[in-house]
C-alpha cells in the first residue's frame, strides 16, 4: 500500500510518529448510484483537507489521541468502474488492513461502500454488530434497478447472516423497508429520529456490550440545519450533542473494530460542513482507542 506523507494525510501531522500506526484511513470516493444531489466523490479529499484545521488536543480526553494511536492515510487511487468490482476492491483493501491488526477508517463516497467495507469483518468475527447513523433505513432490496444502491446499503450488509444492525436517527423509509424491519426485528433495532428526545441509552448495553462493532455514519444522519452538504438532506435529524454520547458509550462497552463515514457532498466555500465530519472522524477513532483496554 502507498501512503500520503503525514503532513498531507488525515490530520496533517507534521512529523512521523515513533510508533507503528494503528489506524489506516482509506479515501474511497465511490459515486455510482446517487439519486438526488451528487458530489460524494469529492468527500474524502475535502474531509482530509479540513482535518488539517482540527486541533489535535482533545479537551475531553485531556490528551492528543493521535500520538497514542498512530494514523496513516492511503494515497488516492483509481476506483473500479463497476460498482460490484469497486466493492470487491474495497473489501480487499480492508482485508489487507485487518490482516496486519489495524483499524480501517473509510471515507466515502456514497453509502453503497459499506457492504464492501464490512465484508472482511464478517469473515473475521463470528458475530458483528453494525452501529448505523442515518436519516434513511437503506433497507430496500434494490433501488432504480440496482441492488448495490446507496438505498440498499444496510440490506446488503444484512446479507451476511452473522451481522445485526442498530440504527439511529432514521426518519425516512418506504413501506417495503418498514415491512422488512417488522419481519426482522431479531436482527434490526431502530432508534427513530422522531423519538430522539426520549432515547434510552441504557439500552446500548443490551445491543453492544462485549460485542465486536463496526460504525457506519451517513452524514445525513445529522440534521439538515448543520449538514446540508449531502445528497439527500432530511429535517429532524441529530445534532453533535446527540451523536457523541452514543459513540462514546458504545466504545466504552464494546470492541469497535472499524468504521466508515459517507455521503458528504462538499459545497464550495462552505468548509464548516467538511470540518464537522473531519472532527467526527477524529472523535470516533479517539473514543475507539481510549477505551480499548
Which string of DSSP letters, residue by residue, matches 217-238? Answer: EEGGGB-TTT---SSS--SS-B
Give me the residues paired with residue 63 across strands: 58
Number of H helices, E strands in the chain: 9, 8
| Residue 1 falls inside a structural domain | no
pLDDT band at 39 (very low <50, low <70, confident <90, very high): confident
pLDDT at residue 142 tops 90 = no
Please report whether residue 3 resides in a domain. Answer: no
73 neighbors 21 (Cβ within 8 angstroms): no
Over 70: is that where the pLDDT of 247 sits? yes
Q: Do the Cβ atoms of 237 and 254 come closer than 8 Å? A: no
Sequence-ordered list of residues with C-beta below 8 angstroms from that of 257, at least 6 positions apart, any chain: 103, 121, 125, 128, 212, 213, 214
Residue 79 lies in a domain: yes
Domain span holding position 232: 10-290
Q: For the chain, what is the mean pLDDT?
A: 95
Q: What is the pLDDT of residue 186?
A: 97
Condensed to tens digits (0 to 9), the pLDDT of residues 49-66 reads 999 999 999 999 999 999
pLDDT of residue 18: 65
In what side-by-side order are the strands of the sheet with 255-262?
Answer: 71-73, 23-28, 103-108, 255-262, 212-218, 128-133, 163-170, 188-192
Question: ∠ CA 21-16-27 to the nearest 5 degrees?
Answer: 55
Number of domains within the chain: 1
CA–CA gap between residue 30 and residue 81 (Å, rounded): 9
* Radius of gyration from C-alpha coordinates of the chain: 17
Report the CATH number that the domain containing residue 131 is assigned in CATH.
3.40.800.10
Q: What count of other Cβ atoms lies within 10 Å of the Cβ of residue 169?
A: 30
Tell whether 5 is covered by a domain: no
Does the pLDDT of residue 156 top 60, yes or no? Answer: yes
Query: Inter-axis angle of helices 271-290 and 43-51, to 10 degrees?
Result: 70
In a domain, 133, yes or no: yes
The answer on pLDDT for 240 being more than 70 is yes
Question: What would the mean pLDDT of 220-246 be, rounded to a whole number?
Answer: 96
Q: Which of 17-21, 104-108, 148-152, 188-192 has the lowest mean pLDDT?
A: 17-21
Residue 52 counted as domain residue: yes
Residue 2 lies in a domain: no
Asked whether residue 241 carries a pLDDT value surpassing 80, the answer given is yes
Q: Per the domain annotation, does 87 fall within a domain?
A: yes
Amino acid at each position: 500500500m502507498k501512503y500520503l506523507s503525514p503532513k498531507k494525510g488525515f490530520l496533517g501531522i507534521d512529523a512521523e510518529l515513533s510508533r507503528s500506526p494503528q489506524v489506516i484511513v482509506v479515501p474511497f470516493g465511490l459515486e455510482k448510484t446517487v439519486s438526488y444531489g451528487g458530489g460524494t466523490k469529492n468527500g474524502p479529499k475535502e474531509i482530509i483537507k479540513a482535518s488539517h484545521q482540527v486541533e489535535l488536543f482533545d479537551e475531553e480526553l485531556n490528551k492528543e489521541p493521535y500520538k497514542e494511536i498512530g494514523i496513516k492515510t492511503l494515497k488516492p487511487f483509481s476506483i473500479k468502474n463497476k460498482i460490484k468490482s469497486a466493492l470487491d476492491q474495497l473489501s480487499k483493501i480492508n482485508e489487507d488492513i485487518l490482516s496486519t491488526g489495524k483499524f480501517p477508517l473509510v471515507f466515502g463516497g456514497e453509502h453503497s461502500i459499506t457492504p464492501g467495507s464490512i465484508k472482511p469483518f464478517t469473515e473475521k468475527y463470528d458475530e458483528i454488530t453494525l452501529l448505523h447513523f442515518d436519516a434513511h433505513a437503506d433497507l430496500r432490496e434494490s433501488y432504480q434497478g440496482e441492488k448495490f444502491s446507496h438505498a440498499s446499503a444496510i440490506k446488503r450488509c444484512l446479507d451476511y447472516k452473522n451481522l445485526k444492525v442498530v440504527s439511529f436517527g432514521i426518519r425516512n423509509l418506504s413501506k417495503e423497508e418498514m415491512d422488512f424491519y417488522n419481519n426482522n426485528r431479531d436482527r434490526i433495532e431502530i432508534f427513530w429520529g422522531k423519538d430522539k428526545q426520549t432515547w434510552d441509552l441504557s439500552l446500548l448495553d443490551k445491543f453492544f456490550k462485549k460485542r465486536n462493532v463496526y460504525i457506519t455514519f451517513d452524514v445525513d444522519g445529522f440534521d439538515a440545519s448543520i449538514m446540508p452538504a449531502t445528497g439527500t438532506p432530511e429535517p429532524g435529524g441529530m445534532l453533535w450533542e446527540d451523536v457523541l454520547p452514543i459513540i462514546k458509550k458504545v466504545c466504552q462497552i464494546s470492541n469497535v473494530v472499524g468504521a466508515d463515514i459517507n455521503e458528504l457532498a462538499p459545497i464550495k466555500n462552505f468548509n464548516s460542513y467538511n470540518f464537522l465530519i473531519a472532527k467526527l472522524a477524529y472523535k470516533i477513532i479517539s473514543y475507539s482507542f481510549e477505551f480499548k483496554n
